[in-house]
Structure 1
C-alpha cells in the first residue's frame, strides 16, 4: 500500500476551508485513508504564529565561531600551550590561565582578528571561543598577557619555537629537505613613547608605513607551501644589509639542528632568498662561503643592457603555475663574481605598475595644472 499526504480545499457558502488528506492505493485504487480539518487560511496562520512564538527566541546574538574554532583546533593539535608550559614551568595557582594558554590565545587573535592586548577581552566577547576553550573574558586582562610574555626569555622562546616546529613536522608530515631563508620587516602599532619594546624602531618600512615602528624578521620556511619554521627578530632600524650575516649564521645553525632532530635524511637543501636591500660585496661573499644556494635581486640599473632585449628572447617559465611569466637567462659579473642572471617579466605585475604609474602621473598633472592656474592669476604668495 502506497501512501501520500495532500492539502484539500472545500468551499462552503463561499468560504474556503482546508483539510489534510492521507491518500493510499488500496486494491489498486486510490482511497482516502484519513482526513484532518485545518480550518480557514486565518486559522492556519494563527497555528503557525503560535508555533513560531514557541520556537523562535525573543532575541539572538551573533558570535564568530568558525575561524576561531579552526585556529584553536590547530593550536590544540600541535599542543602549543603544553609545549610552552614544558619550557617555562607549570601555571601559577593565582593565574587565570597558564603562560602557554595566554600565548596560544595571543596567536589565535593574531590570525583571526589582530587587536591590542588591551582590547582582547572585548574582542573575545564577540566570538564564541569561550564555549570550546572554557576560558572566560574575565581572566583575559591585558596585564595577564604582558606577564605571560615577560615569563618567556629569548633563550626559552628559541626552544619553544624549535619544539613547535618539530611538532608541525611530525603532525603534518612537512618536507624539510628543502628550505628557504628570507628577510622582511613588519609594522607594529606599539606607541612611540613605549620604551618597553626596544626592538620596535623606526626604519625603512616595506609596507610603506613610515608612521609606525618596525620589527625586522628573518624566517626559515618550507619550500613547499612557505610554512614558517624558525625565526630571527631584530630591531627595525637595523638595515637588512647589516643583519644579513647574523641571520645566516643564527638561522643556518638552528635549521641544521632542527633537521637532525626531526630525522631528515641527508643534509637539507637550503636556499637563501633576499632582495636588493641586502646587496653588498660582503654579503655576497658571506652567502657564497656558506655553500648555500641563494636567489638575490639586483636593480635594473645594474644590467641596463638586459632591458634592451626583445620580448622574443624571453620564454614562458611554466604556464600552469605562473601564467604568462617569461624569463631570459644569461651570465653577468655581479659583485665581483660571474653569476647566473635571470631577467623575468610578469604581465600581471606590469599591468599593476602601469595602473599605479598612471594614477601617480594623473595626480602630478592635476597639481601642475592647479599651480599653472595660480601663477596665471598672479596671486601667489611671496
Structure 2
C-alpha cells in the first residue's frame, strides 16, 4: 500500500476504532494490514463490538453505531441488520436523485441550538437491500462551503483550458486529437466540472485543432439547488427526533479528533512505529490506544468540571507543574539542607492538580 505520511521504510497498518459519543473514549481497537480496504474490516469490528457489549449489558438493542458512507455495502448492512443493532449512516446523494429533487418548501427547520441553519426532510428510502428511514438535510454552512470550493475548482479548470486554448491557437502542439481530448477529459475530471463547463474541440490535424469553452450558468444554478448543502442520513431509529439523528451522525468528528491525536508527533503519537512482527505491532497499537483512552477520560473529567481543554492543552498545563530542589548551606561543614517545592504554575494547572489528586504527590514543607 501507499502511506499518507509518505513513509516507505515502515510497515503500513490500518486501525479501526469504536468510541463513545460522550467524550470520544475508545472502547474497541482493531488493527489490520494496511493493504486491505477499510470496508472489508467492518464486519469483524461489528462482531467484536457486539460480543463485548453483550458481555456487560443485558441486550444489544440499546446500542447505536454511527459510521460514514465509506463502509456501505449490502453485505455490511446485512451484518448490522442481523446483529439487531441500531445504526445511523449516510447514503451517497448521487445514488438517490429522487430525494435531491424534493422541493425546498418540503423541508422543515430543525429546532435545535446545536444545528443553526439546518433544515430537514424526513421520509423513507430503499437502500442496501432494506427500506429504512431517511433524513435529507440541508445545511446553510455546508452549502456555502461547497459553493466556494466548487468555484475554486472551476477557476482552476478554466485556467487550464485557457492555457490549452492559447497553445492550440498558436499551433504549438504536435499531439493528435485523441491526446488533446484526453487532456480535456483530465481537466474536466473533478466532480461536477463536466456538468458546468461546455468544451468544444474542432479540427483534425495538430495544426487545425482549436478549442472553445464556456460556463453554463443555468447548469451551475441547477447543480447548486440540487446538490449543495445536502446529505442523506440512513437509520433504523424511527423513534428518534430528527435533531438527535443529525447530532449522532455529526459525532463522527470525535473519532476524527482521536485519529488526529494519534498522528500528533508530540502528544500520544502512534508513529513512527519501529516494529515488523504482527505480535509487536498489536502491542504497539494496544498501548497507543490505551494512552488515547486515558487522555480522553482526563479531558472528559476536566470538561465536566468546567475546564474545556484539548488533550494537548490539558497535558501542557499538567506538564507545567514541576518540582524543584533548593539547597541551603550555612557555611559549616556537613551536607547542605535540601528543600523540595513546586514551581509557580497557572490557576488552571492548580485546578487540574486538585481534580486528579496530584497534590497528594506534592512535597510538603
TMscore range, shorter length: 0.3 to 0.5
Larger Rg: 1
TM-score (norm 2): 0.44
